[in-house]
Amino acid sequence: MVNDIVLETWTKSGETTGLIRHRNDEDTKPLHAYRSQVLVISMIFSVLIITFLMSVIDFWIDDDQFVQSQHAIVKNKDHLAMKNREYFYQCAPIVSCDYSDKYRTSNGTCNNPNNPIWGSSNTPFIRLVDAHYSDGISKLRTSSDGEPLPSAREIQVKLFLNKQIRIPDKNNQLLMQWGQFVAHDVSNLAIDTNGEDCCTNKNELGVSRACEASIKIPIDDPVYSKYNITCMRFTRAMTSNNYSCPLQPLTFIDDASHFIDGSQIYGSNDYVVSKLRSFTGGTLISVLDNNQEFCPRSSFNSSDTNKYLYNSGDSRANLNLGIALFHNMFLRFHNYVAFKLKIENSLWSDEKLYQESRRFVGAIIQHITYTQFLPIILGKNYTKDEVLYGNNKYDPTVNPSTSQEFSTGAFRVLHNIIPAQHRFIDSNYTTVKIVNVTDWMNCPYLLQQGSNYDQLLRGLLSTEGRLSQPSYNPLNTISMLTYLPGNIASIFE
């Protein structure tokens, strides 16, 4: 940035003396004889004045303001966020909205009076760029010669095996866990399973669409070869076709509401919401165990009564101990808020207590995300200038739906900092137990044993996280977060 311009006349060198010396009789000439000199002088002063004005403008208008104006231009380009707008023209259901209602709907509809379906559950992820299928419709991409692309597993191992393992970060493990919690709030890609085991079923009619993306495992894989595993189940997601909307190219559907509204706690449709509510005092259903409150147990539990899954607003609540802890924590928080509101407002109905508590919890999630989480991920200045205060007026023409590029690409950056182990720390801040993340995936019942809930929460708070690295997280690279036997995660810490 140019802060000032130094202007010199160079009079001492004599370069300008011919322009400022006194006239005498010898120099007397007709005025038209000086026309060329006057023209040159005028041009010089014009350039100097323009340069000075530009320097002043540059001094007062910094680069950030220019960048912000460019961002504003980009953000107003409708085509960037509407690559798959056809769904809303052809297949969007008609919804009836009561705009006098002060509370959010469970599925995210009616947020925008002009476009009430935008951002609701069971609507497409928007695209920032065009889809790229080998057949232009749905088939997986191929190489330039038309052959299938190499195994994703083979490329991953060759690129990232034996790279930097772990660099401590100044942020604790709650950073990653909050990211997963919020990701589950705005994004839930429905999987097209059809009950198929894509690695064992051999269909004479060919591979079904759901199984097209199964990943071949090289015979010399550093992990799976030890267990004679040659195929990794990877099922393609459901599309608009599964929702009676035959669009081309295929459009992927978000089962969650696209807003940060706590849908992972409460559910993204009325049916799930009703299954989780107690309809008493505005609270959610919970179970008490050793005077501790936990989420209700799912009906899909193991025959072993000591092993169970939690029921919550999101189907991924049991993926790992950290996310299960968050679901239990926010269940407790909702019920705590409802209890406090009932004390202060004894005449409020169950419905009002529930909705006000839900509203409060949703606001807390938004506040933490925008004021605590995003400044770490995006940087304080960018978050302040572009997210919190830059172009923050409501614009009904902007589709708030989650973009496919964000959900499947950008937000996966937090996979890079998934911890390999969880530490359980007691009230004296002594580590009493360390468990491998991969040993307890889809096994959340460890939380209810003794003081494990409090100790794990204290562990997430007190344990330094993993720094994001270009070589990616070796926990993902080697084990792919699958449930292999043994002590596989311990080698990464």
Whole-number Å distance between alpha carbons of 124 and 88: 9
Kindly report the backbone phi and psi dihedral angles of residue 472, in degrees, each rounded to the nearest multiple of 5, phi listed first: 70, 170
Whole-number Å distance between alpha carbons of 402 and 406: 7
Q: What is the pTM of this model?
A: 0.78
Q: pLDDT tier at 326 (50, 70, 90 boundaries)?
A: very high
Is the pLDDT at 83 greater than 70? The verdict is no
* 301 or 319, which is more confident: 319
Q: CA 382, 385, 389, 390 torsion: positive or negative?
A: negative
Q: Are 138 and 209 in contact (CB under 8 A)?
A: yes
Whole-number Å distance between alpha carbons of 450 and 466: 28
* 167 or 276, which is more confident: 276
> Is 71 part of any known ligand binding site?
no
Is the pLDDT at 73 greater than 80? The verdict is no
Q: pLDDT tier at 20 (50, 70, 90 boundaries)?
A: very low
Among 34-48, 238-252, 279-293, 321-335, name the one with the lowest average pLDDT. Answer: 34-48
Neighbours of 346 (CB within 10 A): 7
Neighbours of 376 (CB within 10 A): 15
* Closest C-alpha among 66, 236, 244, 174 to residue 417: 174
Q: pLDDT tier at 320 (50, 70, 90 boundaries)?
A: very high
Whole-number Å distance between alpha carbons of 420 and 435: 9
Helix (H), strand (E), coil (C) string for 34-83: HHHHHHHHHHHHHHHHHHHHHHHHHHHCCHHHHHHHHHHHHHCCHHHHCC
- Domain extents in the chain: 85-139+148-190+237-480
In this predicted structure, what is the pLDDT of residue 224?
86
Counting residues of the chain whose pLDDT is more than 70, the rounded percentage is 74
* 50 or 354, which is more confident: 354
Is the pLDDT at 89 greater than 90? The verdict is no
Q: What is the pLDDT of residues 369-426, one digit of tens each?
A: 999 999 999 999 999 988 888 777 888 998 999 999 999 888 888 888 888 899 999 9
Is the pLDDT at 10 greater than 50? The verdict is no
Counting residues of the chain whose pLDDT is more than 90, the rounded percentage is 45
**Gyration radius (Cα) of the chain, Å:** 31
The predicted model gives 128-143 an average pLDDT of 89
CATH code at 85-139+148-190+237-480: 1.10.640.10
Could you give the 3-state DSSP secondary structure of residue 435? strand
Kindly report the backbone phi and psi dihedral angles of residue 288, in degrees, each rounded to the nearest multiple of 5, phi listed first: -105, 130
Longest distance between any two alpha carbons in the chain, whole Å = 118
Q: What is the pLDDT of residues 434-461, one digit of tens each?
A: 999 988 999 999 999 999 999 999 999 9
Whole-number Å distance between alpha carbons of 458 and 451: 11
Kindly report the backbone phi and psi dihedral angles of residue 465, in degrees, each rounded to the nearest multiple of 5, phi listed first: -85, -175
Burial of residue 268 (number of CB atoms within 10 Å: 0-12, 13-18, 19+): buried
Whole-number Å distance between alpha carbons of 227 and 224: 5
Arithmetic mean of pLDDT over the chain = 80
* 86 or 202, which is more confident: 86
User: Residues near 315 by Cβ (< 8 Å), separated by ≥ 6?
Assistant: 188
In this predicted structure, what is the pLDDT of residue 185?
98
Is the pLDDT at 471 greater than 80? The verdict is no
Burial of residue 318 (number of CB atoms within 10 Å: 0-12, 13-18, 19+): buried
Residue in the block written with tokens 């936990």: 294
Is the pLDDT at 168 greater than 60? The verdict is yes
In this predicted structure, what is the pLDDT of residue 314?
96
